Structure 1
Amino acid sequence: MKPTKMRNKMIYRASYQTKSKQLGSALSKDLQKKYGKRSVRVNEGDSVTILRGEFKGVDGKVAEVSTAKSSVAIEGVKKEKTKGDKFDVFIHTSNLLVTSLNTEDKWRIAKLEGKDPRKQPKEAPKAAEKPAKEEPKKETPKAEEKPAKEEPKETKVEKKSEEKEDEN
């Protein structure tokens, strides 16, 4: 196969899983030492630094990940349209450096640490404390209050006809 066909197949016509794997970005030196890996897939909530392009040197959190564009939107990185509207700028993940990870996903952290996430001990379920049942309060019958009758609202047609009569 020609190189251009191979490139198109690998980048532009790749499956969803392959495109997801292509969203990797370099880890900072301290994270490389901690996890023993050089790169990681970028997720929402990760803190990153932009290494290349117009926004070089900007730090921020990943706001949105786009597998279709193979890039991410970062909080605080926006451009302005001529009408004044602002929109997110998507930056390719190869131009980013991950400085801190979003640790909410326990599976992801276990994989980074080299552990088998399936064999991780599950956290004990939290004991759901049930509040003591309160006795229903007995309601005393009250005199039924009837809402005051409201006068029918005037329509626009009636108002206009009244205004015409006043003028004559």
Structure 2
Amino acid sequence: MAEPHKSGPRDADAETLSRLWERVVPMFTSLEGQLDALLTRRHGIGLGPLMALGALAGERPGPLSVSGLARRLGVSVSAASRMLAQLERSGWTSRTAWPCDRRTSRVTVTEAGLALWTRASLTLEHELDAAFRALRFDERYAHVVARLCRAGDGPPED
């Protein structure tokens, strides 16, 4: 049985984390929308499908199952399946039935998908760097970005 939530006074760390979360969500949502539009315009692929392509490219040459990809991306199996269907229609992935269980698919990135990932991931990296540099000077998000940068192994590079 789970422990009941204590409704006593909140400690300072919980309050700080709560305020940080309240800043991260709108910042992430805004940045996600901007990146999605830019990637679609420049490369013909949205942010979600690009992340799926990147997960597959990282597994190369081995395949991933649809459920494995869903876990890696933190989405439902049906959402991963829809993304993969789009990637497959575009010729960036291929799906094959697993010999031991024909109900399970194994997905691999194609050469065209790998080339797209290489180009689009450079755009993504550049835009993320630029966005975080700009957000460091936005008073609404400066403390969030500073905290995210401190979470890494070292100071951010300019």
> TM-score category by the smaller chain?
under 0.3
TM-score (norm 1): 0.24
Bigger RCO of structures 1 and 2 (CA < 8 A, at least 6 apart): 2
Q: Which has the larger radius of gyration?
A: 1
In proportion to residue count, which structure has more strand?
Answer: 1
